[in-house]
Structure 1
């Protein structure tokens, strides 16, 4: 989705108008592309070589980073837990610019609804293909319906409905109410055989709901973290992302935009940590505390990228990520359907052959990582950008 730097408003310059008018500039916010690229690189597996470095260098910082690129078994939080929520948030940021552009072209809301609805269906289908390849056509019970792409599509569609019909504060309030209702549901609705308020792996409401209503294969066997109920809190990340997008789109001084983003970031982290004292931070259940924590972090990451790239205009370092961010769907599928590891081994194994054998996977993964980027760079030079 295209991004721009500023908008003029139909009603007033504050945060009260449901929809902003046409952007006054076609200049793209490079920070959003760079942040998306940084995030997508880790979603697609670009940090694999860092994980493989654990225990090999004797450097504590590297081992710490490797541990941060794995998910906790249940409760708890690592940086890797932040990666997918950040993408959902960025989808909301980009959505505001895309919808504003559509409105500036005179498109009615019904057309915008239809476009995002069709996009949602396409992403759901692509997600099923990605998660199930090769697809077990003759064993439908083994097809997993939950997917990263499907969640992005659904969250973006719902956020479109909210954005085109609610102003900034109503969307903020709606997101908080959704998180409160989800919190109440997990604590108050009894699960057969376990009762109410059981947040264990076996007894949580999310798992029971998936086992009861979600057909096909469940990732964790007894539930699926990309299943039905967790769609509800996760869409709040995209909804909150539209708030950040609206802030960036205002015709304000950068200092004021930065203040709003910073306040939102600190508030989200503080509220998430406070809530976690009773409602644990858990990425598998997408708990409300987890949503607020990652939303706050996303606001701050967006602020840092925006300030460095689009305010200070320090951009050379960001080009690496921008190449990825402009073809995020491509890298997601490329890592799954193209064996870059095989090509890396064929091209580079002679270079690291003298090293200890336990280092081979590290260099093979790093070579694959470089090949993926070169592939995306060629697409960038050819101006080929795959989008839905």
Structure 2
């Protein structure tokens, strides 16, 4: 049994999750540092991708959040199989799914300052809360609905969300259903969310955006289910090929849809969800092919150490001053170099300190699991 569970674990999933969280753990600053030291068009273009777009549009930085949710979706069919194999009852599985979703909401509130007990100024919407609720509802759908119907549900979610935003602009807005002040998304948050909103009149992790995010998590679950599938004539290469085709199709749909429904992470528009869902599929197909199909794994340790404690490093960076530690240890070294090179050295130092912290936990087999 132990051997079977070990073989079922996707090394590519841990590596891809680590790749994703690397940019939360200082990867963006690393590329900005490279552009500062060597301001060529290539490095400057990459550095520009390390910041969120203000409203409509897309940059690589906008991928990090939905890619994590997509990955969480991929892992669910595998964890569900393990839970059923261990003898967990259906009611126990449901309780675990709901508990995980609510715990992530709680952790998101703690991240946003819940322990300050300043409830009037508390931000209740959060990245972890969006992940928890979207994943939870997608998992409940997965547990109760067959594959083909789930594909239809995802399509209905994306189309329905589009029609909802077009048909019901904010009554107090500027008439543009896709603007910050005019969208139904911000209006619902202003009416229903207590505390304060991240952008005063709008919260990028607010209530309505959970709906298309359920579609993002469901795309991940469909991907995980596809990779798990055992069928005569269905080779690993064919699985990868179909993922590439599905990912490319989603990207095309997202880009075409953006002509009438702008790509917008803050609103989590359906065109955005299709685009990032397609890119996520392509990234996973690449990692899965290299790591699990071709068994090329030696290079993955760096990312797996991050990926196996992803929630830990997300929370730890908020509560532990890694920047103070990295500057205290490596600041003197950085000062030796030319001023244009110092941001790169300090970015590398920050990543090294964070990774060293995670590697210690990895060696001690300490993993925060929600």
Name which of 23, 29, 36 aligns with 2:17. Answer: 36
Q: Aligned partners of 1:56 and 1:25: how far apart in 2?
A: 44
1:169 aligned to 121, 145, 148, which one?
Answer: 148
Please name the residue that 1:375 is paired with. 357
- Tell me, yes or no, if structure 1 residue 91 matches structure 2 residue 72: yes
Unaligned runs of 5+ in 1: 6-22
Shift of 1:260: 2.0
Aligned to 1:346: 328
For 2:135, the equivalent position in structure 1 comes to 156
Q: Residues 170 and 181 of structure 2 are in contact (CA less than 8 Å); yes or no, is this contact kept in structure 1? A: no
RMSD: 1.9
2:265 is the alignment partner of 1:286: no
User: How far off is 1:25 after superposition?
Assistant: 6.7
CA distance change for structure 1 residues 112 and 362 in 2, over 3 Å: closer, same or farther? same
In 1: Cα distance, 2:214 partner to 2:48 partner: 27
How has the CA–CA distance of structure 1 residues 202 and 54 changed in structure 2, closer, same or farther, with 3 Å as cutoff? farther
For residues 5 and 99 of structure 2, the distance between their equivalents in structure 1, rounded to whole angstroms, comes to 28
State the Cα distance separating 1:26 from its structure 2 match. Answer: 3.9
Q: 1:51 deviation in Å?
A: 2.5
Is residue 235 of structure 1 aligned with residue 214 of structure 2? yes
**Matching of residue 300 in structure 1 with residue 282 in structure 2:** yes
State the partner residue of 1:189: 168
In 2 relative to 1, CA 334–194 (structure 1 residues): closer, same or farther, beyond 3 Å?
A: closer
Q: Is the 8 A contact 1:75 1:282 kept in 2?
A: yes
Could you tell me how far 1:159 is from its partner in structure 2? 1.6
How far off its partner does 1:256 sit?
1.9
- Match for residue 188 of structure 2? 209
1:221 to 177, 187, 200: 200
Q: 1:371 to 1:55 in 2, by over 3 A?
A: closer
Q: Which of residues 135, 141, 146 in structure 1 aligns to 2:125?
A: 146
Residue of structure 2 equivalent to 1:132: 113
Q: Say which of 102, 122, 131 aligns to 2:103.
A: 122
Partner residue, 2:89: 108
The alignment partner of 1:47 has SS state of helix
Task: Give unpaired runs (5+ residues) of structure 2.
Answer: none
**Cα distance change, pair 384–283 in 1 and its aligned pair in 2 (3 A):** same
The offset of 1:44, in angstroms, is 4.0
Residue 370 of structure 1, CA deviation: 0.7
Residue-by-residue CA offset, 1:215-257 (whole Å, 9 max, x unaligned) = 1110011010101011111111111111000011112410221
Partner of 2:56: 75
Q: Structure 1 CA distance, aligned partners of 2:6 and 2:352?
A: 35
Count of residues paired in the alignment? 366
Alignment match, 1:10: none
Residue 351 (structure 1) shift:
1.7
Equivalent-residue separation in structure 1 for 2:77 and 2:176 (angstroms): 37
TM-score, structure 2 length as denominator? 0.94
Cα distance in 2 for partners of 1:356, 1:45 equals 21
- Inter-partner Cα distance in structure 1 for 2:172 and 2:364: 58
Deviation at 1:58, TM superposition (A): 2.2
Which shows bigger deviation, 25-34 or 280-289? 25-34
The Cα offsets for residues 113-162 of structure 1, whole Å up to 9 and x where unpaired, read as 100111112111111111227x441x312100111111111122112211
Distance, in Å, in 1 between the alignment partners of 2:209 and 2:143 is 24
* Distance in 2 (alpha carbons) for counterparts of 1:215 and 1:336: 23
CA distance in 2, matches of 1:43, 1:85: 13
Q: CA deviation at 1:212?
A: 0.7
1:254 to 1:212, Cα distance in 2 relative to 1, 3 A: same
CA gap of 1:195–1:68, structure 2 versus 1, over 3 A, is: closer
Q: Is the 8 A contact 1:34 1:322 kept in 2?
A: yes
For residues 24 and 354 of structure 1, the distance between their equivalents in structure 2, rounded to whole angstroms, comes to 50
